[in-house]
Amino acid sequence: MSELVVEQVTKSFGDEQVLADVSFSVKHGEFVSLLGPSGSGKSTLFHLIGGMYRPDAGTFYLDGNDITGERGAISYTPQSPALFPWRTILENVVLGAEIQGKPDYKKARAMLEKAGLAGYEDAYPHQLSGGMRQRVAFVRALLSPQDFICLDEPFSALDEFTRLEMQKWLLNIWEENRQSILFVTHNIEEALYLSDRVIVLSNKPAAIKKEFTLPFERPRDQELLLSEEFLQWKKAIYKELQVVNHA
């Protein structure tokens, strides 16, 4: 069980307001994307959830407990894979668990194999490609003891081909575990393809502009990307973002 509730969160840095009265929730086993232009305060929201600093107002609840300003309550993967270069892949994926207690190497090996990383357990991050490193970072997030996963534009540094492949891979892995995921992105297609719900944020200060609940069935196929229905949704969200940018 893991359910995140964000309640009326406001944050300013100096005179600049970054988040204005943001409220939403992510239910158990739900995949929710936050969609907004770059620099719209999406990462700030993650840092607040992760307890890097406190919001000026508002509260975060995880499974009903107040986790505002508390570190280590969620499992987090930053934009860059942030792997430790002196640790092997196996040692890297257990890090989250290691910080919170005892790492389970057996489980880690099994998960690496499922993630298509078998045979790389003893390799070092610099020996892997960008896409593989991102997979390792995601496996690390899955193996962390926290049930709630926050992904901050994890595929933004990858090329188009690798990105498509990674999205498919992410969905496959996620179908098996169905952990709650909050996903930040500025890519409309990515948000549509992956999520159950898409929350569109406005620009500076970020506030919730609109919420879309997507009807697409799971497990999803990449064919979906070309369907008429998908394009309709893309249009709707695109229009919403246009309004955001011109406001």
Instruction: Give the binding site for other proteins (CB under 8 A).
Output: 47, 50-52, 71-76, 78, 80, 82, 84-88, 95-96, 98-100, 124-127, 144
Query: Residue 101 or residue 215: which is nearer to other proteins going by CB?
Result: 101
What is the rounded CA–CA span in Å between residue 96 and residue 83? 11
Residues listed for the chain: 247
Q: How far is the CB of 168 from other proteins (least distance, A)?
A: 25
Q: How far is the CB of 50 from other proteins (least distance, A)?
A: 4
Q: How far is the CB of 217 from other proteins (least distance, A)?
A: 34
Q: How far is the CB of 110 from other proteins (least distance, A)?
A: 22
Q: How far is the CB of 41 from other proteins (least distance, A)?
A: 17
CB count within 10 Å of CB 132 equals 20
Query: Residue 144 or residue 167: which is nearer to other proteins going by CB?
Result: 144
Query: Residue 19 or residue 128: which is nearer to other proteins going by CB?
Result: 128
**Strand pairing category for 65-66 and 57-62:** antiparallel
What is the rounded CA–CA span in Å between residue 54 and residue 48? 6
Query: Residue 60 or residue 76: which is nearer to other proteins going by CB?
Result: 76
Angle between helices 130-143 and 160-177 (to 10 degrees): 20
Query: Residue 5 or residue 82: which is nearer to other proteins going by CB?
Result: 82
User: Is 112 exposed, middle or buried, given 0-12, 13-18 or 19+ CB atoms closer than 10 A?
Assistant: buried
Q: How far is the CB of 43 from other proteins (least distance, A)?
A: 10
| Tally of CA atoms within 13 A in the half-sphere of 138 that contains its CB | 27
Vertex 123: Cα angle to 194 and 98 (nearest 5): 70
Contact indicator for 129, 117 with CB cutoff of 8 Å: no
Query: Residue 71 or residue 246: which is nearer to other proteins going by CB?
Result: 71
What is the rounded CA–CA span in Å between residue 46 and residue 78? 9
